Amino acid sequence: MTASSSTGPTPSLLILGGTRSGKSRLGQSYAEGSAKSPVLVATAEARDDEMRRRIADHRAARDGRWQLVEEPLALHAVLKREARRDRILVIDCLTLWLSNLMLGAHDYTARCEDLAGTVATLSGPVIFISNEVGTGIVPANALAREFTDAQGRLNQVMASACTTVIWVCAGLPTILKPGAPLDIRL
C-alpha cells in the first residue's frame, strides 16, 4: 500500500471472505509490505479454549514489528486515536466486533454506520478484515438470521466506505473494488 495523495482519500481496504479463507494472512502481508508501522486492532475476546487457541495462532504469525491494540467494542474511538500517516492499522475482525455488539445488546446498526462514516476521516491507512457469512444456507434460528443480515449490511456499508475491496477464497484474492490510492500487487 502506498500513501494517498494530498487530495485523495486516505487508503482503506476491506478484505472479505469465508472462515479460513486467507483474509487475515493477506491483510498482514499488505501491512508488513508497507513502509508503515503495523498495528493490529484485535476485536476477539477469549471466551473459551478454542478462541484462546485461535488468538495464540494469530499472535504467533506476527513478528516484533507489530503493535497490538485489543478492543472488542469501541472501534470508532480506537481508529480515531491510532490512525496516523506513519502507521497502518489492521482491524481483525469486523465479524467478531459485530458479534460482540450484538451479544452486548448494543445498537449495532448505528455503530456500523458510525464506523463506516469514520473511514473517510482517518489520517492513516487501515485494512478491515470481515467474514462473508451470507453465501451459505439460511440459518435455522432467529439470532443467527439476525446476525447474517447484520453482517451483510455491515459488509455493504464498509465496502462503500473503503477505497478498495478484495474477496479472498481458498487463499486467492480477487479485487472487487479497485481503488486508485492503493498499490496492490496480486
| 0.75 exceeded by pTM | yes
pLDDT score of 140: 87
pLDDT tens for each residue of 18-77? 988 999 999 999 999 999 999 999 998 888 898 888 888 888 888 889 999 999 999 999
Phi and psi at residue 177, to the nearest 5°: -135, 100
Is 127 in contact with 179 (CB distance < 8 Å)? no
pLDDT score of 56: 86
pLDDT score of 7: 54
- Mean pLDDT, rounded, for 125-133: 96
Question: Position of cell 462473508?
Answer: 132
- The answer to whether residue 106 is catalytic is no
Domains of the chain: 15-176 (3.40.50.300)
Cα(125)–Cα(2) distance, rounded to whole angstroms? 9
Catalytic residue among 3, 18, 25, 58: 58
C-alpha cell at 58: 494469530
pLDDT score of 130: 98
> Is the pLDDT confidence value at 5 over 60?
no
Least confident window among 2-6, 14-18, 34-38 = 2-6
Q: Which residues touch 22 (CB under 8 Å, ≥6 apart)?
A: 168, 170, 171, 172, 173
Least confident window among 134-138, 144-148, 160-164, 180-184 = 180-184
